[in-house]
Each structure stands twice: as structure tokens, then as C-alpha cells.
Structure 1
Amino acid sequence: MKPFTYSRANEERAAVKEIAASKGAKFIAGGTNLLDLMKMNVMQPAHLVDITHLGMKAIEENQAGGLRLGALVTNADTAYHPLVEQRYPLLSHAILAGASAQLRNKATDGGNLLQRTRCDYFYDTQTACNKREPGTGCSAIKGYNRNLAILGTSEYCIATYPSDMAVALAALEAKVNVTGPDGDRVIPMGDFHRLPGDTPHIDTNLQENELITSIDLPAKGFADHYAYVKVRDRASYAFALVSVAAGLELDGDTIKEARVALGGVAQKPWRLPEAEAMLQGQQASKENFGKVAAAYLQGAKGYGDNDFKIELAKRAIVRALLLATEMEGKS
């Protein structure tokens, strides 16, 4: 780990000002990802600004009739909060499917959104990686890529984004509130993360000097019909090969609205509103769910070791939608 300086901020404006004035500085809260990256010399910030004393630790009603999650609320406190469990069980289940109890007790909601990829080549500083060092190449494309992306890839990067929480937030159409030198702004969850394109080192549309302050959940939480399916190599503490967050609004067995977001398949949570719209007014059936699954994976590309994820993702979508309708095992 390279030497770095450290300071503690006690006010949002001061934290933003300090980051803007310190080249190569980073905010730190739970540090569950950043510290690992620093120890392995993948990231080498010259200065850390501790934001754990800024407040931002409340979960409360927002003006839209939903909930506002403070950026410094821990993943554990979010998952087990009575209002989250009651109104947004999809989010609660997704969080509890991720990491370990110890990490969930430390990791923050804002930090969760800023996780870097878990691609092996990104962590190995002896290999070429455009995400870690732009212009060096992507070792994963012709290397070991079993866990990597099949959607939204480019010739520069096939990394995946690891968060479970963000997949549920994408399905719920949450909004991320941020502040920076130019003031406050709101980023829809679908626009927060970026696909690699020719700039794979830029993971999000958050500006370098901006700070996440909170996450807004909408009033609709799909509390009656939802499912989070995570397919992984082992039952705990493993990142998703494929994950699916599904929410349905039903009138009998007719679908009024559907939301589906995928994890483990791209560099951002993957949603296709046009495919979701295929289900509107349709019967909740395995056949119709299969059509939507095929639409979601249209254009998917495997790179050898991860070819199997295309079919796996289709099956996971169908399973999640069946679970959301409580129709598992029925035709």
C-alpha cells in the first residue's frame, strides 16, 4: 500500500471542497472495497477524506411517498429496517444475498453503489487491464472469463459490476441524490452506472468531486409480488454468475406492470423497459416469461468460459418471474 494522508470531514460542503482541492483524493466510509484495492495497489489515492461523521444515516419518508436511504446507512441496517422489509422486500432480500454479515454491518449504501469490478485481471496488477490502466488491453477477453459479462461489452472491457443491492434498486427505479462543487443533483438509478465503451475505467456518471448523500425509493415497492434470484458457485459470500430482481403488479393473473433487472451479466444492472412492456396486459405464464427472457438476452455474447451464462440468465429470469407470481412449478 502506498503512503497516503487522511482527514475527517464534519460537513458535506467541507468534504466536497477538500476533495476538489486534493488531486487524487477519495472519500472513505465503510472502506470494504476501497481498502482492499489500496492494499493490492489497484487504487492509490494520495489522500482519504473520512465522511463517516457527516450524518446521512437515517431512513425516512421522502416527499414522493417512498423512503430516503441515507448514504451512510449500513447495508445491514437497510436490509433489516422494518419499513424496508415491509414495503421493499425485494431490496431487503437482494442485500441479504450479498457479501457476509460482517461486511453488511460495515458497508454503506452509498459505497455499495461505487464498488469496482471483481474481475481477476483488474485485481492483478501484473496483467493488462483497461479498467485499471487505460490503453493496456483487456486480458479477460481471451483469458479466464467465466464470471464476466455477456451484455453491453466492448472490445476494451468485459468486466461485470458486482452489487446485489444495485440490481434491486434498478428494478425499483430508485434515484441517487448527490452533491458537488456545482450544487445538488439527482441521477436516476438507470443512468448512474456506465457501460464500458471505450472508457471502461469510468464506472459511473458521478463526477470526480461529487458525493452521494442519499438514495430515494419510489412509493411503489412491489411488496406483494417480487423475487430476487441469485445463481452463484456457492451458497454464501460469492458474487453472482447471474442475478435477477423481479417485481410484478398483478390483477388476478394479468400483469399490469413488470420490472426485471439482471446482475452479473454486464458492467451495470441490466434493464430493458421495452422487454418489460411485453408483459403488460398479458397473462402471468411461463410461456410469456420465456419470451421476455429471450428478449433480454438478445445480442448477448459469450467469450468462451462464460458462454453458459446466456442460457443461465434466460432460465433465471423465468424462475424469478414465476416466483414473483407464486407460480413456481406450474405451466
Structure 2
Amino acid sequence: MKPVAYVCPSSVTEATAAHGGRSEARYLGGGTNLVDLMRQGIDRPDVVVDITRLPLDLIEEQADGSLRVGATVRNSDLAAHPAVRGRRPVLSQALLSGASDQLRNMATTAGNLLQRTRCDYFQDLSKPCNKRVPGSGCGALDGVNRDHAIFGHSPHCVATHPSDLAVALAALDASVELACSTGIRSVPVAEFLRLPQERPEQDTVLRPGELVTGVLVPPLPEGTVSRYRKARDRAGHTFALASVATVLHLERGVVDHIAVAFGGLAHRPWRARRTEAALLGTTPTAESVAQAVEAELADAVPLRHNGYKVDLARGLAREMLGSLTARPRPS
């Protein structure tokens, strides 16, 4: 058994110093993913830095209407917060679709974003996986890839990111706050998680030793509507085959703000920029919505077993946008 040192710092400065940017050091929040990976032998850290006692567990409404969510805020607390349920239901819906009550009571905001792929080839130590062992190959590329990516994949990795929360945050244009020994920086959620390219073992743009301290969700115009919809194999707490988060504001029937993000289709939340551009500034109709969704899906590159995801994403996005843009008929 490999010995593991355990450190429980009292400040962010102590935490980043204890981590030290070492490749085999890990931060521990709720542990719902990291502990499983350690049990499986997939992750073998030599030091674990417990951040659960740091003052990072607050949900704070800012004067400008934005929302700051601490890194160790539990998923259940975030889903139930009035500022989320009332003004950002897409966030609550995503969290409530993502896990059991027991897991939501343990899992944290940062841990949810940082969770690793559930690809079967990554989880199975007997199979090749470039994300787990760089240079070993991608078993899913020519293997069973029904659950895998149709956007942004590479010959080195076709895995998808499992977080529902990340998809909603990407649609809300949220940013991740990162701290290290030299200061603090902020990265948009949609850019925080990486596409695989030639380095699939690097899930995020985190620099060595950086600690996620919170997430900042910007304010929304009054009257903004949002929603999250997820398709899965069964009505349990399973990961998305495809999902979509939409944030929309209409001014006199014209789209003046729109964000659409897909989940379950790529290595990170996939912002449907072409769909957004096609609908922005228009009075949406069923036909224009269909064309806008098609503009994004035209770039999909399905694998041998997952072509169905294109149709699934198409149906989810059309239904979602149709319901949010529908105008009441005159009586």
C-alpha cells in the first residue's frame, strides 16, 4: 500500500503551500470522486490536502446581482438556495438531475467541476487510456464508444465530461476563481475545462498547485428564463447521453441574450455558438430555431456507435428553445 500524507490547512495560503504544485498532491473536498479513484488505483497521490475547513462554503449575492459560490459549497445547498431556484433555475435543475441526495450532500462545487470522466476505458485499469496513462492509446476510439464525444474529440481521447453543473455554469457565462502562491486569476467555465487535443490527461487549465476557491455567476437581465434538460438511459442518477442548458432573454419578442450549452457531447460543456449567433436579434419561430440548432450540429463528428447523439441533441435543443421562446397566443 502506498503511504499518503494528510494535511488539513487553516487558510488558502497554507493549502497552496502544502500542495506545492507537486504532481502527486491532491486537494480534497467532498471526496465523492477522488476517494473512488484512489480505491480503484486510478489516482495514487502521496499527499492529500483537505480544504473542507477553509472558509470557502458561502453563497454570496453581490451588489451588482452576481452570485459568488464558494468552492466547498455542497451541491444540495447550492440547488436549494433562493437566488438559484428563483433567478437561475437552470443551475438548480442541473444539480438535481446529477446525483442522489446522499451524493449532493457531500459533493462540492469545485469537486463537481473537477470530477474525472466516467469513460469505461478510463475506469478499467486493464484497458488502454491516454487520460490515465499518457501514450497508452485510446481504447474507446475503435472500441465501444456509444457514450462518447461527437464534438471536439481527438485521436488521443473521445471521452466526455460528466458534470451537469458545468454545463449550466457555461450557459450562465460563469467564471472559476483560482488561487495560488502568486495571486488569484479568473477563467470562464467554458474555457476552464480543456478539449483533449494531444494532452487528454490535462482535464483543465489549472496550473500546478492552483486551488479553485469559488465560482462567480454574473447577473442576468430581469425576465431572463433558463432551463436544463437531460437525456439518459434510465430515470436514475446516471450520466447524460446528451443534455442542454439554455439561458434566454426576450425584449419585445426579440432575442437580446441567448446562451446554449450542450453536455454529454464533448470533453467539456459545448457552447452552441452558431445556434446563439443565428437566433440573436431575431424573433424566433419553430423554423428558425430548427435551422439554428442544425447550424451547430452540422459540425458534429460521430463515432461508430454514437451517431444517435446528434438526433438526441437536436430534439433536446429544439424542444428547449421552442418552449422558452413560445409566445402566448391571443385569446
TM (norm. structure 1) is 0.95
Q: Which residue of 2 aligns with 1:60?
A: 60
**CA pair 170-23 structure 1, distance change in 2 beyond 3 A:** closer
> For 1:228-239, what aligned pairs fall within 5 Å after superposition?
228-239=228-239
Q: Which residue of 1 aligns with 2:273?
A: 273
Native 8 Å contact 1:22 1:47 kept in 2: no
Q: Which residue of 2 aligns with 1:161?
A: 161
Native 8 Å contact 2:274 2:296 kept in 1: no
Q: Which residue of 2 aligns with 1:144?
A: 144
Q: Which residue of 2 aligns with 1:242?
A: 242
Post-superposition CA distance 1:49-88 (Å, at most 9, x none): 1110001111112354211001110000000011111111
Which deviates more from structure 2 when the two are superposed, residues 307-316 or residues 107-116? 307-316
Native 8 Å contact 1:226 1:323 kept in 2: no
1:125 to partner: Cα distance: 0.6
Native 8 Å contact 2:25 2:45 kept in 1: yes
Post-superposition CA distance 1:216-237 (Å, at most 9, x none): 1101178642221100001121
Return the alpha-carbon distance in structure 2 between the equivalents of residues 149 and 39 of structure 1.
27
1:252 to partner: Cα distance: 4.0
Q: How many residues align?
A: 328
Q: Which residue of 2 aligns with 1:284?
A: 284
Return the alpha-carbon distance in structure 1 between the equivalents of residues 241 and 327 of structure 2.
24
1:20 to partner: Cα distance: 0.5
Post-superposition CA distance 1:101-134 (Å, at most 9, x none): 1101100001111010010000001110000011
Return the alpha-carbon distance in structure 2 between the equivalents of residues 222 and 20 of structure 1.
44
Q: Which residue of 2 aligns with 1:111?
A: 111
**CA pair 269-21 structure 1, distance change in 2 beyond 3 A:** closer
Return the alpha-carbon distance in structure 1 between the equivalents of residues 23 and 304 of structure 2.
40
Return the alpha-carbon distance in structure 1 between the equivalents of residues 21 and 314 of structure 2.
47
Q: Which residue of 2 aligns with 1:186?
A: 186
Return the alpha-carbon distance in structure 1 between the equivalents of residues 62 and 121 of structure 2.
41
* Amino acid aligned to 1:272: A
**CA pair 327-267 structure 1, distance change in 2 beyond 3 A:** farther
Native 8 Å contact 1:2 1:41 kept in 2: no
1:324 to partner: Cα distance: 2.0
Return the alpha-carbon distance in structure 2 between the equivalents of residues 21 and 137 of structure 1.
27
Native 8 Å contact 2:21 2:209 kept in 1: no
* Amino acid aligned to 1:255: V
- Unaligned runs of 5+ residues in structure 2 are none
* Amino acid aligned to 1:220: L
Return the alpha-carbon distance in structure 2 between the equivalents of residues 286 and 158 of structure 1.
33
Return the alpha-carbon distance in structure 1 between the equivalents of residues 42 and 187 of structure 2.
27
Give percent identity, aligned residues only. Answer: 44
**CA pair 21-314 structure 1, distance change in 2 beyond 3 A:** closer
Q: Secondary structure at the match of 2:219?
A: coil
Return the alpha-carbon distance in structure 2 between the equivalents of residues 96 and 15 of structure 1.
30
* Amino acid aligned to 1:82: P
**CA pair 103-149 structure 1, distance change in 2 beyond 3 A:** same
1:21 to partner: Cα distance: 6.5
Return the alpha-carbon distance in structure 1 between the equivalents of residues 21 and 190 of structure 2.
30
1:91 and 2:94 equivalent? no
Q: Secondary structure at the match of 2:105?
A: helix
Q: Which residue of 2 aligns with 1:12?
A: 12
Return the alpha-carbon distance in structure 2 between the equivalents of residues 259 and 234 of structure 1.
27
Q: Which residue of 2 aligns with 1:296?
A: 296
Native 8 Å contact 1:242 1:262 kept in 2: yes
Native 8 Å contact 2:21 2:208 kept in 1: no
Return the alpha-carbon distance in structure 2 between the equivalents of residues 222 and 47 of structure 1.
46
1:174 and 2:156 equivalent? no
1:247 to partner: Cα distance: 1.4
Q: Which residue of 2 aligns with 1:313?
A: 313
Post-superposition CA distance 1:244-298 (Å, at most 9, x none): 0011111343222211000000000001334302101222222111112112212
Post-superposition CA distance 1:148-176 (Å, at most 9, x none): 10000100000000000110100000011
Which deviates more from structure 2 when the two are superposed, residues 283-292 or residues 30-39? 283-292
1:299 to partner: Cα distance: 2.0
* Amino acid aligned to 1:269: P
Return the alpha-carbon distance in structure 2 between the equivalents of residues 37 and 72 of structure 1.
19
Return the alpha-carbon distance in structure 2 between the equivalents of residues 2 and 222 of structure 1.
54
Q: Which residue of 1 aligns with 2:129?
A: 129
1:306 to partner: Cα distance: 0.8
**CA pair 223-252 structure 1, distance change in 2 beyond 3 A:** closer
Native 8 Å contact 2:61 2:67 kept in 1: yes
Return the alpha-carbon distance in structure 1 between the equivalents of residues 61 and 121 of structure 2.
42
> For 1:216-231, what aligned pairs fall within 5 Å after superposition?
216-220=216-220, 224-231=224-231
